Structure 1
Amino acid sequence: MPIDRLPIIDLTPLREQAVDGPDLRRAVQDIRQACLAHGFFYVTGHGLPDALTSRLDTLSRTFFAQPDEAKLRRPMSAGGRAWRGYFRAGGELTSGRPDWKEGLYLGTELPADHPLVRAGTPLHGPNLWPDAPDGLRETVLAYLEAAAAVCAIVLRGIALSLDLPADYFEQRYTREPLLLFRIFNYPSRPAPEAVAWGVGEHTDYGLLTLLYQDDTGGLEVHTPDGWVDAPPVPGTFVCNLGDMLDRMTRGLYRSTPHRVRLNVSGRDRISFPLFYDPNFFATPAPIEGLDAAADDRATRWDGASVHEFSGTYGDYLLRKVGKVFPELGAAVLR
């Protein structure tokens, strides 16, 4: 597999749960090679309706086109421990520096009387739905369900690529996954002088990210041969591995740094990342039988090693998200 290109993998045999055969083996082998190379790949044959994605794109643009005062009726400061709501461009930090994007933080919709919500469990609760446009709530929830199903399919392929049972991750971590969903808008208006990136260099925290990006472009991936573009490919989604999968595979499958360039296209850029993470209370552990990973802190973007982590996934995640919105983290994630 050329290291400077991200492969396109057909999920059809995995989605249809085909019996062992050449098509299934090819899909599993393609996933393994992509995860060994750089942990980024496109997926097709995913079964997520184009019409649903297109409708969410349209509704998202309508939301972001509103004046700031309308968008700020549902700020993240009102989301409390559920960590939901809207933030302005420049309001989110990556490695301590502001990104030039605005967004809506969303997730699994839980009612106020749900036991986890009543217990004050961070990152669990109702979403803060904007007043407009009409249909956004229903479309987001339908998209979230469909996209989570795609992530489950990919994780089955990853398990098979490691010679594990197809339901390995589901049985241990994702029977009730933590779903964190974002709608991001990268404004076409010029960024402040102090802002250098749409999103700065980072790795994702959890198991798997499924990303829709519109036709604007801007995503870059740090492969062993340097930074390469991950341009939009019609009908596909980008998948990338997170730090917890890196940890579970002892560094065999790597979470790879990526970033987004400033948007100078003249048109706002929309993206939908879904972070498909272990259950909040799960304790991630290395997969037995894999060689121990070397200490990789010297080569990581943040100078940290995910292989030293211990405790629940929630413990780990709360330490991370508090750095993205420091003031909010200090106020609600005590």
Structure 2
Amino acid sequence: MGEAIGFSRVPLIDISGLRGGPADRDRVVAEIGHAAREVGFLQITGAGVPPALFAGLLAAARRFFALPMDEKMKVYIGASKNHRGYVPEGEEVFSAGGRDRKEAFDLSLDLPPDDPDHLAGNPLLGPNQWPPLPGFADAVMAYYDAVLALGRRLLHAFAQALGEPPTLFDDHVTKPPSQLRLLRYPAGPAADDREADDRETDDRETDAVGIGAHTDYECFTLLRCTGPGLEVRNGVGEWIDVPPVEDAFVVNIGDMFEILTNGEFVATPHRVRRVTAERYSFPLFFSVDYHTRVVPLERFVRPGRPARPGLVAGEHLFAHTAQTFTYLKDRLATGEIVLPAGSVGLSSFGHPTQTAG
């Protein structure tokens, strides 16, 4: 398992140079590569995503979550065949029964109902569920498309930082199940405990047991949020605060990249402390295609550094999802669905879950 060194801050990198000449691009690529190897986290500015798109997404999220519960449940994720829709508080239950205090709306690449993978029963590919809110889908997908495009540019930069051609991974991101989550956390009574973000639950409360410090499953995550709280753990066990920067994205390496690079890039554990103010968070988990076999690149396998076990990207994502969401666990119990062959227990790719102590 890769482990970031004893860093004291998360680097802030202006990536506008990726759209410049060779010298500017090489400089930014080097900065990105250093952050991916030594920290596993970075914040980026100069991403070229219009601020109005985030404003539109936030407004859409506020409108949706303000709806009465019966209206939100009309697009309940359990009514979807490909894991899209509203996630009520308590739907996600992690290892050892962790209690979840957030609500979410989950979406991904919006494929047509006649998409062949969807028709074949792929559990993560297909159309999104949309609430009947005028302009909601347009605002959300405008943001999704822009950030997915940003992710593709970063994918090229990461490949170059590894000494590979920028297009190395392009053939594996033709129809990726890259998920965007619209997350709302209600205001909490205290600010000294730890609360979940995206895949986290409280790791300090005595009445909540589940995933605390964790890593994300995919290649990398692109995050925007409305308030502070994010912390990352360095290689000496210290928790480092990541203060929000206006118009910046937080980017963190995920487990797929740690495996693809055989530990050259590190997937650093992170958590989000509970805050008193209502908080919105919008992580986009950038993944490779569902059927991609994730194995270490040959250049990073050598004596004393053996190749880590590989896996099929989408199957692993689905296996973890099916062990987390109540509606899918119910379908597993009845035999309506089964886990992919070779599935492991609820954990990241080599980063086991941690229960509260």
Say yes or no: TM over 0.5.
yes
Aligned to 1:93, what secondary structure does the other structure show? coil
Does residue 286 (structure 1) correspond to residue 296 (structure 2)? The answer is yes
Structure 2 residue aligned with 1:249? 261
Of 232, 237, 243, the match for 1:231? 243
User: What is the RMSD of the two structures over their aligned residues, measured on CA atoms?
Assistant: 2.3
SS at match of 1:286: coil
**Residue 261 of structure 1 pairs with residue 266 of structure 2:** no
Q: How does 1:1-334 map to 2 (within 5 A)?
A: 3-14=7-18, 16=19, 18-21=20-23, 23-80=24-81, 82-96=82-96, 97-132=98-133, 134-171=134-171, 173-190=172-189, 197-198=195-196, 199-200=200-201, 201-214=213-226, 216-225=227-236, 226-265=238-277, 268-291=278-301, 307-310=308-311, 312-331=312-331, 333-334=337-338
Percentage identity across paired residues of the two chains: 35
Shift of 1:197: 2.1
Give the partner amino acid of 1:316: H
**Mean Cα displacement is larger for which, 92-101 or 106-115?**
92-101
CA-CA distance at 1:2 after TM superposition: 8.0
**1:301 equivalent in structure 2:** none
My pick for the range that moved more, 24-33 or 317-326, is: 317-326
Residue identity in the other structure for 2:168? Y
* Residue type at the aligned position of 1:274: L
Q: Is the 8 A contact 2:229 2:273 kept in 1?
A: yes
Distance 1:71 1:206 in 2: 28
Distance 1:210 1:220 in 2: 15
Amino acid of the residue matched to residue 93 of structure 1? V
Q: Deviations over 1:212-242 (max 9, x none)?
A: 111x211111112411111211010011111
- CA distance in 1 between partners of 2:235 and 2:188 (Å): 33
TM-score of the superposed pair, with normalisation by structure 2: 0.82
Counterpart CA distance in 2 for 1:315 and 1:185 is: 28
Letter in 2 for 1:270: Y
- Paired residue for 2:348? none
Pick which of 316-325 and 203-212 moved more. Answer: 316-325
Preserved contact between residue 178 and residue 287 of structure 2 (Cα < 8 Å) = yes
For the Cα contact (< 8 Å) 1:318–1:333, is it kept in 2? no
**1:174-222 CA-partner distances (Å, limit 9, x unpaired):** 133222111000111559xxx95223322111111111111x2111111
Gaps of 5+ in 1: 297-305
Q: Matched residues in 1 for 2:302 and 2:129: separation?
A: 43
Structure 2 SS opposite 1:308 = coil
Question: How far apart, CA to CA, are the structure 1 residues paired with 2:337 and 2:242?
Answer: 34
Q: Take 2:60 and 2:27, find their aligned partners in 1: how far apart are those partners?
A: 37
**1:89 Cα shift?**
2.1
